[in-house]
Amino acid sequence: MNTTTLITTFITDQYLPGTSPAELDADYDLLANGIIDSLGLLRLIDWLQGEFTLDIDDKDLTPDAFRSVSAICSFVEGR
């Protein structure tokens, strides 16, 4: 699975039960539409750290890095 599919699948599984990954547009705003709330964001960051073996310190982050599937992909690929 490529990064986009992996992330999309995680988000639909975790936060959008009943929605298939194909339905979720890569630019859909996950924060403004209330899919990922601030606690959900912590769960996402935990998963990203494990899945992509990243070392993420939340002191250096802003929520905008996680606004959409494409933003999350850029964040992961930029690490």
List of E strands, 1-79: none
Our finding on whether 28 is near another protein (CB under 8 A) is yes
**Candidate segments 2-10, 20-28, 46-54, 70-78, binder of another protein by CB under 8 A:** 20-28
- Print the binding letters for residues 38-77 with another protein: x by CB under 8 A, - otherwise: xx-xx--------------xxx-xxxx-------------
Shortest distance (Å) from residue 9 CB to another protein: 15
